[in-house]
Amino acid sequence: MTSKNATQSRGALDRYFHISERGSTIATEIRAGVVTFFAMAYIIILNPLILGTTEDVNGNTLGIAQVAAVTALAAGVMTIAFGLIARYPFGIAAGLGLNTMVAVTLVAGEGLTWPEAMGLVVLDGIVIVILAVSGFRVAVFRAIPASMKAAISVGIGLFIAMIGLVDAGFVRRIPDAAGTTVPVTLGIDGSIASWPTLVFVVGVLLCGILVVRGVRGGLFIGILGTTLLAIAAEAMFGAGASFEDGEANPGGWSLAVPGIPDSFGGMPDLSLVGAFDIIGAFSRVGVLAATLLVFTLVLANFFDAMGTMTALGKQGNLVDETGVLPDMKKALVVEGFGAIVGGATSSSSAT
């Protein structure tokens, strides 16, 4: 490609995505995209652990490997679609609160099969898209006070932070008589002397220092450094996830044991794509109950997206003087399709 053609190509790309107009550069966007990928990659591990291990009323599970594959597929498809259509640099992936609702409320609580539960997620997405196309979502978005939208985004951040604290072993669940495990305590009986917790603390401090000092790619460097530290700590000290007798190690790794994989490639199992039943839940729990479940999903999806878009828009200086993204309707329509794609792939609503 000649220098002139390359310049024209970059110019077209810049104009289409409003890169210079928003005070950024193509190089900056590439770096930010890499950081965003690594910052969101945890969902490829966490989503399968939430969805892939829960048994439905028939005793069936989705499978960890299968959920990991469709989680990555749905996230990739929706992130690309959001960038190309809505023209905003936002990543779309399975929502943590929504996947927990599907696993705990719909499957474990209401006794739905996995295809039936994912069918309700698809219906949730259809309703969300209709509300967005009609302009209702934008109207509600503008009507909600800015402080409320900010509070929603803060709540989402605190929820994710709490999950990180628990999974790192910094705080621990305390099983009560009912087995709800809601209360938490610091570490193990007040002690945080474990390798996973130490790696967590070092990682948070490293990321924080690099970001505060304005180091380019600071968050990426922090994530990469923490990953290498975790691999080294496991290789040298072998905390593992359980003891030799198979009993869980309270001071071990809670999600996955860090290490170098045996292989870096392979064909994904996409058998869950299309494995949903859009009307089955209405027969199993009744029309009224199924409708209320869809309504609950719509509310969760509706306000989850509101908080997320508000936070990302402010962070990227993309919102107007009223705190709303320009061309918000298009963005909300595309985001609504995330629930349809998530349900259709059995990876839960992508938002």
Mean pLDDT of the chain: 86
Report the distance separating Cα 226 and Cα 326, nearest Å.
37
Q: How far apart are CA 286 and CA 276, in angstroms?
A: 18
Does the pLDDT at position 142 exceed 90?
no
Residue 337: per-residue pLDDT: 95
In whole angstroms, what is the distance from residue 151 CA to residue 161 CA? Answer: 15
Residue 253 has pLDDT above 90, yes or no: no
Give the pLDDT confidence score for residue 242 in this predicted structure: 66
Task: Give the model's pLDDT for residue 182.
Answer: 60
Of 13-27, 59-73, 327-341, the one with minimum mean pLDDT is 13-27
Q: pTM of this prediction?
A: 0.84
Span 147-188, pLDDT tens digits:
888 888 888 888 888 888 888 888 877 665 555 556 677 777
Mean pLDDT (whole number) for 298-314: 88
Residue 87 has pLDDT above 80, yes or no: yes
What distances in angstroms separate CA 264 from CA 260, 261, 268, 280, one per listed residue? Answer: 9, 7, 12, 39
Q: Between 177 and 276, where is the model more confident?
A: 276
Residue 109 pLDDT > 80, yes or no?
yes
Task: Name the band, by pLDDT with cuts 50, 70 and 90, for residue 265.
Answer: confident
pLDDT (average), residues 196-217: 90
Q: What angle do CA 200, 203, 204 make, to 5 degrees?
A: 85
Query: Phi first, then psi: what are they for 201, rounded to 5°?
Result: -65, -45
pLDDT above 90 covers a percentage of the chain that reads 44
Per-residue pLDDT at 37 exceeds 70:
yes
Residue type, 45: I
* SS3 labels along 221-278: HHHHHHHHHHHHHHHHHCCCCECCCCCECCCCCCCCCCCCCCCCCCCCCCCCCCCCCC
With 50 as the cut, is the pLDDT of residue 132 above it?
A: yes
pLDDT of residue 172: 76
pLDDT at 15: 87
**Residue 1's pLDDT band (cuts 50, 70, 90):** very low
